[in-house]
């Protein structure tokens, strides 16, 4: 069974088509990179995947549950790391985790146990009583990822999770999430940075609301760097639009 399956998803903002018949799937235990320049439609796709909007056309299945028919069951199977920071800076690390756990119906000793385990896994156990403000950007992100896993989802969505981080933190977080995928999680990772994608990751190339390509990164790039392949594929599309000849 696929962790995440999207079929024929389209969305418009008034006259502007933001997504056009997007279909893809992320199998269990795979890391899938959603690669696209700014304005490609990544944020729209995330808003649809997290049920912040609903799309009139298309279907989203989360771990076998239809998002539009049973949104709550689907959301319970999904962990999300948003692009915007979602932590309360003046509350402690533990309090932030417990708040999230409660939103997912986990409370009491079970919540405390899961929070401690999640923090322990990050090597942050002794910082649980500190306020989030005292953490650096990399740690805050890692904490948001750990928090998104508290309710044991099957699918993890991350919307440009490395924005604003230094190179070392970026690499650490990218590796960490790849390891999570190896443990059986289906991961969808949106980014515009090609160096976060590894060769055997599934890669979706989104440009102007259309999926231009979906394959492993190795197959997409062939003997080029992924960056060059990315520019070749999107640059081609720009010409097609600009020249108006091929479409």
Partner 1 sequence: MNWTIALAAILHREALRFVGQRGRFVAALVRPLVWLFVFAAGFRAALGLSITPPYQTYITYETYIVPGLCGMILLFNGMQSSLSLVYDREMGSMRLLLTAPLPRWWLLFCKLLAGTLVSLLQCAAFLAIAALWGIRLPLSGYLLALPALALSGLMLGALGLMLSSFIRQLENFAGVMNFVIFPMFFLSSALYPLWKMAEASPRLRDLCNLNPFTHAVELIRFALYGQVNLTAALWVSLALAGFGAAALWGYDPARGVQNRKGQGG
Can you give the binding site for partner 1, defined by CB under 8 A? Answer: 13, 18, 38-44, 47, 50-54, 56, 71-73, 75-76, 78, 80, 82, 84-86, 88, 90-91, 95, 98-100, 102-107
Q: How far is CA 113 from CA 125, 126, 217, in A?
A: 12, 14, 38
Q: How many CB atoms lie within 10 A of CB 89?
A: 12
Q: How far is the CB of 141 from partner 1 (least distance, A)?
A: 12
Nearest residue (CB) to partner 1, 14 versus 245: 14
Q: Tell me how far, at minimum, the Cβ of 37 lies from partner 1, in Å.
A: 10
Minimum CB separation of residue 233 from partner 1 in Å reads 19
Burial of residue 11 (number of CB atoms within 10 Å: 0-12, 13-18, 19+):
buried
Strand segments, DSSP code E, in 45-130 are 57-62, 65-66, 78-81
Q: Which is nearer to partner 1, 92 or 216 (CB)?
A: 92
CB of 98 to partner 1, least distance (A): 7
By beta-carbon proximity to partner 1, the closer residue of 41 and 58 is 41
Residue 226: φ, ψ to 5°: -60, -35
How many degrees, rounded to 5, is the angle at CA 235 between CA 234 and CA 241?
A: 90
Give burial (CB, 10 Å; 0-12/13-18/19+) of 132: buried
Between 77 and 221, whose beta carbon lies closer to partner 1?
A: 77
At 151, is the secondary structure helix, strand, or coil? coil
- Indicate the residue among 197 and 209 with the shorter CB distance to partner 1: 209
- Rounded to a whole number of angstroms, the minimum distance from the CB of residue 232 to partner 1 is 23
Least distance to partner 1 from the beta carbon of 75, Å? 4
| CB nearer to partner 1: pick between 208 and 221 | 208
């Amino acid at each position: 069974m696929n962790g995440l399956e999207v079929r024929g998803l389209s969305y418009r903002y008034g006259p502007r088509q933001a997504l056009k018949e997007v279909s893809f799937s992320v199998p269990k235990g795979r890391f899938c990179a959603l690669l696209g320049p700014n304005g490609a439609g990544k944020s729209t796709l995330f808003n649809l995947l997290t049920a912040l909007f609903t799309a009139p056309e298309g279907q989203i299945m989360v771990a076998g549950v239809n998002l539009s028919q049973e949104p709550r069951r689907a959301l319970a199977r999904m962990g999300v790391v948003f692009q915007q920071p979602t932590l309360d800076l003046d509350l402690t690390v533990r309090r932030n985790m417990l708040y999230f756990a409660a939103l997912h119906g986990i409370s009491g000793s079970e919540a405390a146990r899961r929070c401690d385990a999640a923090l322990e896994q990050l090597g942050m156990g002794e910082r649980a009583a500190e306020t989030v403000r005292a953490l650096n950007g990399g740690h805050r992100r890692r904490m948001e990822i750990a928090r998104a896993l508290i309710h044991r989802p099957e699918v993890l969505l991350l919307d440009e999770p490395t924005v604003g981080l230094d190179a070392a933190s970026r690499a650490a977080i990218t590796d960490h999430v790849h390891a999570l995928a190896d443990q059986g999680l289906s991961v969808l990772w949106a980014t515009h940075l090609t160096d976060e994608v590894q060769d055997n990751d599934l890669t979706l190339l989104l440009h102007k609301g259309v999926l231009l390509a979906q394959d492993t990164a190795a197959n997409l790039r062939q003997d080029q760097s992924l960056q060059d392949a990315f520019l070749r594929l999107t640059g081609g599309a720009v010409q097609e639009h600009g020249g108006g000849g091929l479409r």
